[in-house]
Amino acid sequence: MDEKIQRRISIAVDMDGVLADTETHFIQYYEAESGEKVDRKSLLGVPENLAFPDKTAVRRYVHTPGFFRSLPLIPGGVYAVKTLMEHFDVYIVSAAMEFPLSLYEKKQWLEEHFPFISWKNIIFCGDKSVIKTDYLIDDHLKNLDHFSGIPLMFTASHNVHSNHHHRLNNWEEILKYFEIIRRNA
Amino acid sequence: MDEKIQRRISIAVDMDGVLADTETHFIQYYEAESGEKVDRKSLLGVPENLAFPDKTAVRRYVHTPGFFRSLPLIPGGVYAVKTLMEHFDVYIVSAAMEFPLSLYEKKQWLEEHFPFISWKNIIFCGDKSVIKTDYLIDDHLKNLDHFSGIPLMFTASHNVHSNHHHRLNNWEEILKYFEIIRRNA
């Protein structure tokens, strides 16, 4: 029998907005601070930093100690990443370098919620254009537009009007997408 | 006149052992702790974690708060990186994820000594095989061996017996090497 050594397909997975529910967290922080509950619909198609009545809020929250450590999970992410890892090389790739205080908090958050991911597969960077994986799942155009592999846009309120990348709305759709990739590989 | 839009050549630069003098720092920490001054010659060709009489020392130091923040500079690194940035895209790529406490310290260290490097060009990762730059300057075989671009081995005591990568002994040699690359580009 011929032995076939095949390189596994690699997938880079963004954190904020893809694994971690920054949107819900922003809304909760905003309500706790101002007493005002912002309707999620008002965030549609608006950049996150401009989506709240107080335009300084988001910028302040991402520099607040504890913000990244306490992010809630996007539903289905933990199960999906674990499932993808059976057949793909999965890397967590976060543009964390913009917020240096978040570096340790993000690592701790991953250790809590994704303890099955090795430190070898975690990347905190600035510009994602130098990441050489086959796929990138991300909610931000600034990352998807300059990625050298196949970009997949994870739906977030801020990107609902963008249509130049293949869109996947949730982790269920991602699992289905890669199940087809795997069968055709 | 024809306008020629040319992608700049990209260079990934390792931190420990290339920009930061971990070797000297290990020797100093060891002397401060044990009173014993280890001769640098005794480190030749030996993995760093086995190079000191107390084999637990290096492992302890890299987990000691302040170790990475207080690393001395490798001579010529600051000038060389600044010079390279005139003609190349330079990325700092450190396998910092193994030591989560070091993440913030390494970012602070870079801000102090290399304030001219944007956060967009800094990458803290585990496995460097997913970094897509044209060159990688690194002292560790584990990083150089699996790099997809052109690996360049920066001389350190632990790698003096390895000869399967192009060796550059110091930052002067690196500047000369890339001056030739630039002229031939």
In a domain, A37, yes or no: no
Structure tokens at A167: 């869109």
Structure tokens at A180: 């087809």
- Rounded to the nearest angstrom, the minimum Cα separation between A76 and chain B is 25
Integer-rounded Cα radius of gyration of chain A: 17
Residues of A in contact with B12 (CB under 8 A): 130
- Distance separating alpha carbons of residues B2 and B6, to the nearest angstrom: 12
Q: Under an 8 A CB cutoff, do B101 and A100 touch?
A: no
Mean pLDDT of chain A: 94
pLDDT bracket for residue B5 (50, 70, 90): low
Under DSSP, is residue A115 helix (H, G, I), strand (E, B) or coil?
coil
Under DSSP, is residue A159 helix (H, G, I), strand (E, B) or coil?
helix
Asked if A11 has any chain B CB less than 8 Å from its own CB, the reply is no
In a domain, B40, yes or no: no
Q: Under an 8 A CB cutoff, do A126 and B104 touch?
A: no
Q: What is the ipTM of this complex?
A: 0.91
In a domain, A63, yes or no: no
In a domain, B49, yes or no: no
For residue B1, the model assigns a pLDDT of 43
In a domain, B178, yes or no: yes
- Rounded to the nearest angstrom, the minimum Cα separation between A37 and chain B is 34
- CATH number for position A177: 3.40.50.1000
> Phi and psi (nearest 5°) for A52?
-110, 150
For residue A150, the model assigns a pLDDT of 97
Residues of B in contact with A101 (CB under 8 A): 104
Q: Could you say which residues from 82 to 101 on chain B have a Cβ atom under 8 Å away from some Cβ of chain A?
A: 91, 97-98, 100-101
In terms of residue numbers, what domain contains B177? 10-22+72-184
In a domain, B141, yes or no: yes
From A111, which residue of chain B is nearest by alpha-carbon distance? B100
pLDDT value at A43 more than 70: yes
- The strands making up B89-94's β-sheet, listed across from edge to edge, are A166-168, A150-154, A135-138, A10-13, A89-94, A122-124, B122-124, B89-94, B10-13, B135-138, B150-154, B166-168
* Percent of the residues in chain B that have a pLDDT greater than 70, as a whole number: 97
Total number of domains in chain A = 1
In a domain, B64, yes or no: no
pLDDT, tens only, A160-175: 999 999 999 999 999 9
Yes or no: say if A48 and A58 are a contact pair by the CB < 8 Å rule: yes
